[in-house]
Amino acid sequence: MGKYQLIYFNVRGRGEAIRTLLKDNGIDYEEINCGNNWQKEWKPQMQFGQTPALRDNDFLLVQSNAILRHLARKHGLYGDTEEEAALIDMINDGVEDLRSKYVNLIYRNYENGKDEYIADLPNQLQPFEKLLSSNGADRSGCCVGTKRSFADYNLSDLLDVHVVLAPKCLEDFPTLKAYYQQYLARPGILEYRETEAFKQRPINGNGKQ
Ligand SMILES: N[C@@H](CCC(=O)N[C@@H](CSC(=S)NCCc1ccccc1)C(=O)NCC(=O)O)C(=O)O
């Protein structure tokens, strides 16, 4: 099997959960920055005219959550039972709901919407706190069961960008805070976050965070 190619802009955005899954699991991949000639060269190749995309040999896949699930199926990151897989899907869909709200704030309503968004953030984080508390995720670092899943990389990245937006947003959520600190302490994540590639990469495409 050839090396995976992750085709995305040089931002964290919807690509970072994929990058951290690959890095933390020692899965080799090539990063392709499609920003240089997006409209003419890359956009027409994409099934929905969007990125991120994962090239897996001759197989090209778009939609960030489909990419996460594809890698999870191939690399044992989708739980041990059908019920665990369903719960992982449920949490990942919850992550997608909040990520969509975050993306809309960042790109469409930052100046006027930031204060209201941050004020409502506890209501958005509470369901994750309750779900992860019921699973002892503060100790295991796993949102479902006792094995990390693709939803852990997506949720951890979501918490990461929200801690930048609202540094104290986890102070009232001890499980989420411990779970996020567990993520940051993972050797693969620590090593990756020390790279220049990570440090120089903006969170979003418009410079807002
Ligand atoms: N559902 C898709 C969404 C992919 C997506 O939005 N990709 C963006 C890049 S990732 C991202 S979060 N972009 C934010 C752009 C945005 C601007 C304004 C409002 C909402 C989003 C993209 O390809 N833009 C270029 C283009 O469409 O020509 C996925 O999860 O991969």
Q: Is residue 201 part of a domain?
A: no
Q: Is residue 12 part of a domain?
A: yes
Report the pocket of ligand 1 as residue ranges, CB < 6 Å. Answer: 13-14, 43, 49-52, 63-65, 103-104, 107-108, 205
Query: DSSP string spanning 10-72?
Result: SSSTTTHHHHHHHHHTT--EEEEEGGGGIIIIIGGGSTTS---EEEETTEEEESHHHHHHHHH
Q: Do 152 and 182 reside in the same domain of the chain?
A: yes
Strand, coil or helix: 209: coil
| ipTM score for this prediction | 0.93
| Ligand 1 pocket test target in 7, 8, 14 with most atoms within 8 Å of CB | 14
Residue 28's pLDDT is 97
Confidence at 2, pLDDT banded by 50, 70, 90: confident
Identify the domain containing residue 176 by its residue range: 82-191
Task: Please give the tally of structural domains in the chain.
Answer: 2
List pLDDT tens digits, range 14-53: 999 999 999 999 999 999 999 999 999 999 999 999 999 9
Q: Is residue 200 part of a domain?
A: no
Distance of CA 171 from the midpoint of ligand 1 (Å): 30
Q: Which residue has the higher pLDDT, 111 or 136?
A: 111
| Ligand 1 pocket test target in 46, 47, 50 with most atoms within 8 Å of CB | 50
Q: Do 140 and 54 reside in the same domain of the chain?
A: no
Q: Do 87 and 59 reside in the same domain of the chain?
A: no
Q: From the alpha carbon of 9, which atom of ligand 1 is closest?
A: 9
Report the C-alpha gap between 73 and 58 in whole angstroms. Answer: 18
Q: From the alpha carbon of 15, which atom of ligand 1 is closest?
A: 10
Question: What percent of the chain is predicted at pLDDT more than 90?
Answer: 99
Q: Do 72 and 88 reside in the same domain of the chain?
A: no
Distance of CA 51 from the midpoint of ligand 1 (Å): 7
Q: From the alpha carbon of 13, which atom of ligand 1 is closest?
A: 12
Q: Pick the residue whose CA is nearest to atom 6 on ligand 1.
A: 50
| Ligand 1 pocket test target in 12, 34, 36, 51 with most atoms within 8 Å of CB | 51
List pLDDT tens digits, range 116-160: 999 999 999 999 999 999 999 999 999 999 999 999 999 999 999
Q: Is residue 209 part of a domain?
A: no
Q: Do 134 and 175 reside in the same domain of the chain?
A: yes
Q: Is residue 35 part of a domain?
A: yes
Largest CA distance in the chain: 48
Q: Do 69 and 120 reside in the same domain of the chain?
A: no
Is 167 exposed, middle or buried (CB count within 10 Å of its CB: 0-12, 13-18, 19+)? exposed
Strand, coil or helix: 33: strand
Distance of CA 137 to the CA centre of its chain: 17
CATH number, domain containing residue 60 = 3.40.30.10
CATH number, domain containing residue 150 = 1.20.1050.10
Across the range 158-170, mean pLDDT stands at 98
Pair type for strands 29-33 and 53-56: unpaired
Distance of CA 175 from the midpoint of ligand 1 (Å): 30
